[in-house]
Amino acid sequence: MERIYLDYAATSPVHPRVLEAMMPFLGGGVYGNPSSVHAFGREARLAVERARDRIAGILGCSPSEIVFTSGGTESDNLALFGVFEAFVGRPGVGRAGREDPERDGESAGFRGRPHLVTTRIEHHAVLNAARRLEKLGCDVTYVGVDAFGRVDPDEVARAVRPETFLVSVMFVNNETGVVQPIREIGERLRKCGVLFHVDAVQALGAVDFRIDGLPVDLMSFSAHKIGGPKGVGALYVSRRVRLAPQLCGGAQEHNRRAGTENVAGIVGFAEAVDIAVSHLDERRRSCLAARSTLLDELRRRLGDDAIAVNGHPTEAAPHIVNVSFPGIPSDVMVWNMDLLGVAVSSGSACSAGAPEPSHVLEAMGLPDDVRRSAVRFSFGPETRTDEVVAAAERVETFCRMFRNKKYGNPTGGPK
């Protein structure tokens, strides 16, 4: 039985071109420390800076505005905690962490408690960081979404206070694929003079955008979602933003992120960004075809009443679709689909095994049976139509088995 991978939103296989680009830095050809001044170090430093230039050119920003990190989670944390610390405790810093020469030598001087605005549907890298900020004395407003999972830009703007140091809204939701109105939110925040951070981990390679065409100040990225290696990512930091480093160590990344750079990972990241963006239209068409085929097959095999598609009907990224099978618990479906050779998930890979249903679907106000039976299917450029058809067939097989109570349970828990 052929195994079928439909969990690209969790991670993706490394592209052959990416692996080829990384090999000189993994196999011993180039192994110097980029901070070393000798020829070995300079060779590694050149590779890092070329990758930085390449990524910046593709994404539409200055190379100096790219900070390499260990991935999307660190990028999100660096944005929230870095701006927070700059806002509350650094001299010469004005409202929202922007440099203010007229206040040189003064404290931030805000009135009241510092305030963060985010949404109820963010990735846990943002939500858990926000909860920690609350423990550090920060007020947090969690903006809701409509039944389709979209944020209202006006509601975000209304949540802003004089003490707001940052607003953080994800570009593409990692569970539903819903695309948020980032431009509209950013335009409103520019009028308020508040910094705007966007988690773009699921948007890169799925949505057509350039940073210089969006009103954003910080943006998070991850390599392994787009055919790059795990353990590397980036944070775009506008030159207008003061960011307090969150790692104590050396002066790497212009004193914004200490630690020896992951040279091989950074080189691979740049190659992956190039491939993802240059083949964006092709990737979108491929994923849209897979999405359409899956839904058509499920409806044909199970009937319209047996499934519910969660998310926005039009404002959605092509590579993610969230489907509920009311009456079948998500974990039971995921476990048994794995037994049938199909890899899917019940939501974010970072929250796998969580006993509670999706916080994203809860924020959308969906019924309990819909929330508790949701499964995420996600596609990549390698996904074939015949694989999607076969996956739908195996879903049908399991649904029949479930109705007849003839299915396995690999965890040993209740059926």
Residues 6+ apart with CB under 8 A from 153: 181, 184, 185, 187, 188
138, 192, 350, 399: which is the annotated catalytic residue?
A: 350
Helix (H, G, I), strand (E, B) or coil at 126: helix
H or E element that contains 333 = helix 330-339
DSSP label of 233: E
Neighbouring CB atoms inside 10 A of 146's CB total 14
Would you call 412 helix, strand, or coil by DSSP? coil
> Do 232 and 263 touch, CB atoms closer than 8 A?
no
From the list 106, 73, 349, the residue with the least C-alpha distance to 234 is 73
Q: Which secondary structure element, helix H or strand E, spans residue 75, and what is its range?
A: helix 72-89
H runs (alpha helix) in 161-317:
182-192, 252-255, 263-278, 280-302
Number of H helices, E strands in the chain: 13, 12
User: Active site includes 350?
Assistant: yes
- Tell me how far apart the alpha carbons of residues 138 and 115 are, in angstroms, rounded to a whole number: 6
Task: Return d(Cα 185, Cα 143) in angstroms, integer.
Answer: 12
Q: How far apart are CA 407 and CA 71, in angstroms?
A: 38
Calculate the dihedral angle through the C-alpha atoms of 23, 28, 34, 37, rounding to the nearest 10 degrees.
-140
How many Å apart are CA 318 and CA 15, to the nearest integer? 20
Distance CA 171, CA 107 (A): 33
Q: What are residue 115's DSSP bridge partners? A: 139, 164
The token duo for 302 is 């199970």
Q: Which residues are catalytic?
A: 350
